[in-house]
Structure 1
Amino acid sequence: MSSAIFVYWVVLALCLVQAAAFFALYHFDRVNRPAVSFGLAFAAAGFSFGGEIVLATGFAPSATRMVIAVAMVAMFIFVADGLARRYRVGLSRGGGLAIGAASALLYLMILDLPRADFTRQMLYQLPYGLLSLLALSIIWRARDKVRADWLVMLLFALMAVHFPAKPFVALWTGGVGAEPSGFAATSYAALSAVSGAVLIVTLAMVALGMMLSDSAARIIRNSERDAQTGVLTRAGFAHHAARHLAGAAPNLADPAAGDLALILLAMDLSGRPHALPVVALAECLGAGAPRDALVGRMAEHDFAVLVPGANLFAARALADSFRAAAAEDPALGAVTLSIGITEREPGDVYAEMLARALWALSQAQRSGGDTIRLAARSGFGLAAGTK
């Protein structure tokens, strides 16, 4: 067994394992449609590498060479489809079929030309290079690219250079062999197999990493959402609120200005049925809160809103708008709300803000409900205690 054939067997096995991994991922996360495209892509790649093994036996060389070439084109088309789905970039499915048909026609025209012909070798690699650029362009057109996206673009740029360079490598290493069955025994075949294997396996691992990351992020988002109302759960709200506090520095130059306010709202239960319209209230809060605010469900009838860029008085105005909207919404049945508000202080952590807001909420409920109470700054309490 030549070194090239050994590499082909290894890559074939890896491609099939990767394809199975993508299909298994889709089985557990049906929203992850790009995983299907990538699974088909690496199944096609495995088919192409399997064809290289068959070609070395001398079986039906013309048909086998066609299968090898078209299967690799199919891999790139499926990869482009998966990227377009993942990055939400428009890509015509008819365009993919047209590329596949044009590539198949090209291979029908050139595969019977002399194997040593440099033009034939360059035309053979041309679709792969162009499809690598197509994949790169899809990511380029995506919005909000992160560092990992640029690294994937670099990988496709390397592939776009790799394929057109192969005819030059063939010239340098002594050619591609006089007959198709003798290709695997050439030095070029070994170099081509190793370099192609590295790129294909790297692409497979990167794509699988992206799909796993997307599914994990989706699972985390779903686990942080209340199933009934769609807002953040108590744990999800605490997690994101803590990140807000850690990511934004307090306004030390003007402590009275405030930069983050926490509003706790409780539906007043006195004289009302136990099954209160919590879904309608969640929708009311979501519609009335600023776009950058966090809305969470803290208990069965209790909600919280974290408002960036607001002090006590801005939060009080927002809370008044919540009360007015709740009173006017027919779906809420003129429900009344008890509300407690606090604002961030220098050095605050989320637990400290929550404790002050809970105190203010308890004061609102003790006063009979349907009212708002503000939590005094901790400094005022300390000053009062020293008199």
Structure 2
Amino acid sequence: MSGAGFLLTVNFLIAQCFCMFFLAVSARSRNRVAARWFAGCFAVASLSTVFELLVAYVPPPKPWAILAFASVLGGMFMLRIGIGHLYGLKSNRASLAAVFVAFVVLDYLIYDLPRGTLQHALPYQMPFAVALGMSAWAAWRARVKTFVDRALVVLLALTSAHFVVKAFAAVLAGSGTTAKDYISSQFALLSQSMSAVLIVTVGLMLLCVLVLEIVADEKVNAEVDPLSGLLNRRGFDNRVDALMAGQGPHSIVLCDLDHFKSVNDTHGHQGGDAAIRAFGEMLQAAAPRGALAARIGGEEFMLFLPNTGKQAALLFAHALRATRSVSPIPGLPPAVRVTSSFGVAEVGETEPLRFAMRRADDALYAAKNAGRDCVREAEPPAQVLEVVRRTN
């Protein structure tokens, strides 16, 4: 087997590995359709290595050569469709299919042109450049944001340009006088070496985009309470410091469902879950933009209101209380009402957040002791600090 034949075999195996990788990733990715198109892209394009070997050893060579061209080009058009799914772009598959057929017909028409000339090499390589250029353009139009997305655009553009360079390399290095001569030519060794590098690079970059999305999704899932749909305590802690760094004042609202144990005892855990779910939906709908809403305990919730003073936070808490006290809960009898109590604290200018949370918690207990279904304002931070000093 020649050096080019060996590289053809290596490229086939690499492409098959990437096909399996993308199929595996599709099981976890939210872009599973894109991942499957990428798997198909590598599977179809890898068939060209089989056809190239058939060109050399199984006459007549013309149908195998055209199939080799069509398989690579078909894989590239599948890549374009996958890019569209990855970035939420519509792909006109009828138009893509028409362009694909036109390029295959072009390859058929130029087959008998003298090889090793620009008259043959440029029309042969340009369809590949156009197909990958379409993918690069699609990724660019998708308003990419991350470094990996931008790197993918650059890589696709460079890969597209490299096919134009290959046309001139075919003339300079010599690709043989017939399709059968290609596999033993110097150009075949150069071409397959470059293809091996590009297969690995493009495949790894696409996998990187998909895997990073999976990691981001897993991070979000780890920080979100599945029952209420709000942040959990970890998600709240991971985000609140950035908001605290902004210009104040900031306020905290602690909320607790009243008589929650009796809801569970009377209506079962499904009834309790329904109450938590309804309260979470209410907080999500009512929370102003930029606020953090979290479920921090069984029936306890917290809101962090950036750039919000005490008076505005109190008005917000009163509105929440009034809404909850009169709203029915889906899944519970229509006459059942689950009220809630609230403690509100404005974070002091230099006060640690945990101190403000402690004051809000004290205010919440005061609301509970006052008969529940009410709002209480926390003591000012100066008074709480003074009490701490005295007890120490």
**TM-score over 0.5 for the pair:** yes
1:307-347 CA distances to partner (integer Å, 9 max, x unpaired)? Answer: 22223222222212211221232337443211122344456
Provide the residue aligned with 1:268 in structure 2.
258
TM (normalized to structure 1)?
0.88
Query: Equivalences for 1:291-306 in 2 at 5 Å?
Result: 291-306=289-304
Q: Tell me which of 328, 331, 355 is aligned to 2:329.
A: 331
What letter matches 1:107 in structure 2? D
What letter matches 2:50 in structure 1? G
- Pair 1:166-2:145 in alignment: no
Structure 1 residues 352 and 60: CA distance shift in structure 2, 3 A: farther
Structure 1 residues 227 and 366: CA distance shift in structure 2, 3 A: same
Structure 1 residues 193 and 378: CA distance shift in structure 2, 3 A: same
Secondary structure in 2 matching 1:319: helix
Provide the residue aligned with 2:5 in structure 1.
5
What letter matches 2:82 in structure 1? G
> Is contact 1:319-1:339 (8 Å) kept?
yes
Structure 1 residues 181 and 270: CA distance shift in structure 2, 3 A: closer
Q: Tell me which of 245, 257, 260 is aligned to 1:249.
A: 245
Q: Distance in 2 between matches of 1:273 and 1:166?
A: 73
Identity fraction in percent: 27
Structure 1 residues 285 and 270: CA distance shift in structure 2, 3 A: closer
> Is contact 2:29-2:211 (8 Å) kept?
no
Provide the residue aligned with 1:118 in structure 2.
118
What letter matches 1:360 in structure 2? A
Provide the residue aligned with 1:231 in structure 2.
230
> Is contact 2:325-2:373 (8 Å) kept?
no
TM (normalized to structure 2)?
0.87
Unmatched 5+ residue regions in structure 1?
252-256
Q: Tell me which of 349, 366, 370 is aligned to 1:367.
A: 370
Shift of 1:248: 5.2
Q: Distance in 2 between matches of 1:216 and 1:47?
A: 32
Provide the residue aligned with 1:254 in structure 2.
none
The range that moved more, 65-74 or 341-350, is: 341-350
1:21-62 CA distances to partner (integer Å, 9 max, x unpaired)? Answer: 111122344752211011111112211233333333344421
Provide the residue aligned with 1:322 in structure 2.
320
Q: Distance in 2 between matches of 1:67 and 1:182?
A: 17
> Is contact 1:288-1:321 (8 Å) kept?
no
Q: Distance in 2 between matches of 1:212 and 1:350?
A: 35
Structure 1 residues 106 and 355: CA distance shift in structure 2, 3 A: farther
> Is contact 1:342-1:374 (8 Å) kept?
yes
Shift of 1:238: 3.0
1:50-107 CA distances to partner (integer Å, 9 max, x unpaired)? Answer: 3333333344421211121111111111111111111112222222222222222222
Provide the residue aligned with 2:277 in structure 1.
279
Structure 1 residues 113 and 348: CA distance shift in structure 2, 3 A: farther
1:149-178 CA distances to partner (integer Å, 9 max, x unpaired)? Answer: 2211111111121111112112222x2102
Aligned length: 377
The range that moved more, 340-349 or 95-104, is: 340-349
Secondary structure in 2 matching 1:331: coil
Provide the residue aligned with 1:70 in structure 2.
70
**Cα root mean square deviation, aligned:** 2.5
Secondary structure in 1 matching 2:224: coil
Shift of 1:351: 4.5
Structure 1 residues 219 and 384: CA distance shift in structure 2, 3 A: closer
The range that moved more, 153-162 or 218-227, is: 218-227
Shift of 1:384: 5.5
1:182-212 CA distances to partner (integer Å, 9 max, x unpaired)? Answer: 2122221111111122122100000011111
The range that moved more, 350-359 or 1-10, is: 350-359
Provide the residue aligned with 2:104 in structure 1.
104
> Is contact 1:250-1:345 (8 Å) kept?
no
Q: Distance in 2 between matches of 1:348 and 1:49?
A: 68
Q: Distance in 1 between matches of 2:122 and 2:296?
A: 64
